[in-house]
């Protein structure tokens, strides 16, 4: 994931990312009865948004609904971006790392 500072912090959200997260919050307010799909070009910052979505799901006061978030990636390079984004978004030991499966 590009754009991470040398201190490991993430850059501010872009406008499209903020709008996506607003829509995500509205989806959550409606009961999450249908899938939520985010689509954007490669390198647009989907990992950053996905990390924030995971944080919001886990921070939900109705914790009985979401206890774990799994992220599946098609390549190691994409996995690395998610790992860095999640590590920066999930302080205090809430991010438990990652595992790789190869076929």
- List CB contacts of 28: < 8 A, sequence separation 6 or more: 56, 57, 60
Q: What is the spatial distance between Cα 66 and Cα 98, in angstroms, rounded to a whole number?
A: 18
Q: Please write the tens of the pLDDT for every residue from 25-66.
A: 998 888 777 888 899 998 898 888 988 888 888 887 775 667
In order of 1, 2, 68, 72, 88, the CA distances from 6 in angstroms are 13, 11, 29, 26, 12
Q: Where are the alpha helices (DSSP H) in the chain?
A: 15-29, 46-59, 76-89
Domain ranges of the chain: 15-89
Residue range 69-86: average pLDDT? 76
Q: What is the pLDDT of residue 22?
A: 95
Q: In the predicted model, is pLDDT for residue 14 greater than 90?
A: yes
Q: What is the pLDDT of residue 1?
A: 44
């Amino acid at each position: 994931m590009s754009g991470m500072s040398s201190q490991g912090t993430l850059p501010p959200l872009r406008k499209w990312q903020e709008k996506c997260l607003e829509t995500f919050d509205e989806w959550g307010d409606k009961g999450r009865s249908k899938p939520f799909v985010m689509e954007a070009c490669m390198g647009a910052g989907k990992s950053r948004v996905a990390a924030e979505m995971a944080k919001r799901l886990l921070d939900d006061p109705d914790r009985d609904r979401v206890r774990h978030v799994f992220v599946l990636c098609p390549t190691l390079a994409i996995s690395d971006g998610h790992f860095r984004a999640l590590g920066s978004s999930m302080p205090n030991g809430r991010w438990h790392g990652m595992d790789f499966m190869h076929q």
